Structure 1
Amino acid sequence: MAAVSSGEIPVIIEVAINGITSPDINPNVPLTSEAIRDDSLACLNQGAAIIHTHNFDISLTGEAAAGPYIEAMTPVLAARPDALWYPTLTSGADHQAKNAHMAMIAAELPLRMGVVDPGSTNIGAAGPDGLPMGGTYKNDYADIRASFNLCRDNGWGPALAIYEPGFLQCVLSYHRAGQLPAGSMAKLYFGAEWGLTRRSKGVTFGLSPTKNALLAYLDMLEGTDIPWSVSVWGGDLMATPLPRLALELGGHLHVGIEEFYDPDRSPTNQELLAEAVALCNEAGRPIASCTQAAEMLGLP
C-alpha cells in the first residue's frame, strides 16, 4: 500500500481520557466532573479533535448516567462549542437501557458522535494458573443494527470500536449495503500484553500491535473511504510501530489514559497527547482542528 503524501491529510487525534481506568492503575485519571472538564479542555486546547469520556460509575443508567456527563461537558462546550466528544454505553441489561442516557444528553448538549461496538469478544485476565478468565462482551447482530439505527436517526457519527477482525467484517457488510451512517470512523484496537483490564500479563484480545496486523486491517479496508485510527490497549502505542505507520498511510491516532498502560509510568492525558502531536510534527502531518475533523468525517 502506497504511503500518502505527508502534507495531504490532517491527523485526527482522539483522546480517551478515562474509561474503566482506576486510580490504582493511573492516579492521573480524571473521574470527577471537574477533573473531566479540566482534562477535556486542556486536551482540546493542546490539539485533540475528539474527546471520549466515561462516567465515574459505568453501572449508572438513564438519567443517573446522563447527569454527570451533562455536568462535566456543559462548561467544556460553552468554552469550545466546536468540540467533538462522545460518551460511552452503560452496563444496562439490554440495548435500550445501555443507550437511554444518550437522548437525555443530546437534549441538553450538542452531541455529534455516538458509539457502535459491532461485535463480541472475550475480555479477561490471567487466573491463578495463568490461563484466561473473564467474560464475553456481547453485541449481537440485533443490538448492532439498533446501534446503527440510533446513530442514523439522531445524526450521530458512529465511533466504531474494532476489537477483532470480525467487528470490521460487520462494518464492511453495512458499508457494502450502503447502510453505514455518515460520520463513521473505524477505531482499530490492538491488544498489548497487559490487555484491557491491565491486571496481569499474557491475556489480551484481538490482534497484536504489529506492522503486519495493521496491514491486515488495511487490506480489509481497501477500496472503502472509511477513516481509521490506531490505538493500543494494555500497552504504550508510541512504543509500537503502529503510530508512525498509520501516519505514513493516512491514518489517525487514538490515545489516552483509558487504554495506556506501562507499570513504570503514570502519564497524564496531556503527556500522552504531547507525544502524539510531536510524532505528527516529525512525520510532517498537520493536526486536524475539531472543525476540520468534523468535515473530514462527514459528520451530520
Structure 2
Amino acid sequence: MNIGNDVIISAALTGAVTPKDINENIPLTPEEIAADAYRCWQRGAAIVHLHMRDDGGLGTMDSNKFAETIRLLRDRHDCDVIINCTTSGDHRASDKQRQEHVANLNGIEMASWDAGSFNWMPGGVFINSPQFLGALGEVLTERGIKPEVEIFDAGMLGIADYFVQQGKLSRPLHYQFCLGVPGGMPATVENLLYLCGHIPPDATWSAFGVGKAHMPMLYAAIALGGHVRVGLEDNVYFSKGVKASNTQLVERAAQAIRLFGKEVATPERARKLLGLRPL
C-alpha cells in the first residue's frame, strides 16, 4: 500500500468508445486532447492517460495521432505532466499495432498493460493474450516505459506476478484498479480493500470506479492510501444528469485530497514516487 502524504491524480481524458454527442466535452482530435491535457495539468493532474480517436470518432492505435498529441503537449514548455498512453482501445488493431507507438515514439513515460482477458459485457471479449502481454512487457522494459498494470479482476494480480517471475515486468509495479466495468470486478470498497491488500509491499496503486461508482472509489482510494484516476473515459457526469468536463473532475479530486489533509502530487513528485526519470 502507498505510504505518504502525496496523492497522484491521473486524468483519463477520452477513452475509445463514448461519442461526443453524449458529452460534448470529450476531446477527440490531437489538438483537443493536448489542450485538455494541459488544462488538467494546470488544475492538479500529474498524469494524463491518452487514447486516440480516428476521424470517425472511434478508438484507434494510430501512431501518428499519438505522436501529434505528444508533440502539441510537449510544445507547451511550462508543462511537465507525465504522459501515459493506452495500448488498447481499438479492437480492430493487431497485437503489433497496439505496440507500435510505445516501441517507436519518444516522450511516452507510462503505458497501460492490461493484465488479462475478460468478457466486457455486453460488447465482446477484451483480449490480452499471454503472448501479447509478454511481448508488450519486453518492449516497455527495454524502452524504460513504466507499465500501468490495469487490474479488472482479482485473478489478474496473479498474471502480473507471473510476468514479473518471467522477467517481462520489473518491480516495483504500479497497479491501476479498474472497478465497475461490466464483466469485471464490481466497484465496492470491499473489493478495493482486497486488491490493495494483495499486491507487493513495494508497489504503488491507483483506482477508479466507472460511472456512478467514481465518487465512492475516489474517496476510498484516498482513505486507503492510494492514488486516484478521474476523467471522461470513465465517467461523463459531474452529478446525476449534469455533464462533466475533465477539468471539473480533476478540480474535485484535488479538493477532496486537500480536504482529507493530503497533498496533490506534482509531476516532479509523482515521478519520484513511481520511479520515473526526471523530465
TM over 0.5: yes
Structure-1 residue corresponding to 2:94: 94
Q: Which amino acid aligns with 1:156?
A: I
TM-score normalized with structure 1 length: 0.82
The alignment covers a number of residue pairs equal to 268
Task: Summarize the Cα distance change of 1:30–1:59 in structure 2 as closer, same or farther, 3 Å threshold.
Answer: closer
Task: Summarize the Cα distance change of 1:149–1:178 in structure 2 as closer, same or farther, 3 Å threshold.
Answer: closer
C-alpha deviation, 1:137, in angstroms: 0.7
Q: Which amino acid aligns with 1:291?
A: E
Matched, 1:286 2:275: no
Structure-2 residue corresponding to 1:249: 224
What pairs with 1:8-23 in structure 2 (closer than 5 Å)? 8-20=4-16, 21-23=18-20
What pairs with 1:215-230 in structure 2 (closer than 5 Å)? 215-221=193-199, 223-230=200-207
The secondary structure found in structure 2 opposite 1:235 is helix
C-alpha deviation, 1:177, in angstroms: 6.0
TM-score normalized with structure 2 length: 0.88
Matched, 1:259 2:234: yes
Task: Summarize the Cα distance change of 1:178–1:33 in structure 2 as closer, same or farther, 3 Å threshold.
Answer: closer
Q: 2:12·2:233 contact (CA, 8 Å) conserved in 1?
A: yes
Structure-1 residue corresponding to 2:160: 171
Q: 5+ residue gaps in structure 2?
A: none
Structure-2 residue corresponding to 1:276: 253
Q: Deviations over 1:11-54 (max 9, x none)?
A: 01100000122112221101122211210100011110100111
Which protein is richer in strand relative to its size?
2
Structure-2 residue corresponding to 1:237: 214
Which of the two has higher C-alpha Rg?
1
What pairs with 1:191-210 in structure 2 (closer than 5 Å)? 191=180, 195=181, 204-210=182-188
CA RMSD of aligned residues (A): 2.2
Q: 1:182·1:299 contact (CA, 8 Å) conserved in 2?
A: no
Q: Deviations over 1:81-127 (max 9, x none)?
A: 52211222254553212212333322xxx2211221110011123xx
Q: 1:26·1:266 contact (CA, 8 Å) conserved in 2?
A: yes
What pairs with 1:59-70 in structure 2 (closer than 5 Å)? 60-61=60-61, 65-70=62-67
% identity of equivalent residues: 28
Q: Deviations over 1:118-151 (max 9, x none)?
A: 10011123xxxxxxxx211111211111111111
Q: Deviations over 1:38-71 (max 9, x none)?
A: 101000111101001111125645xxx1222222
Q: Deviations over 1:242-287 (max 9, x none)?
A: 3223212210001000000446121000111111011101111101
Q: Distance in 2 between matches of 1:253 and 1:205?
A: 22
> What is the aligned counterpart of 2:113 among 111, 116, 128?
116
C-alpha deviation, 1:297, in angstroms: 0.6
What pairs with 1:289-300 in structure 2 (closer than 5 Å)? 289-300=266-277
Q: 5+ residue gaps in structure 1?
A: 126-133, 196-203
Q: Which amino acid aligns with 1:171?
A: A
Task: Summarize the Cα distance change of 1:206–1:121 in structure 2 as closer, same or farther, 3 Å threshold.
Answer: same
Task: Summarize the Cα distance change of 1:182–1:291 in structure 2 as closer, same or farther, 3 Å threshold.
Answer: farther
Structure-1 residue corresponding to 2:147: 158
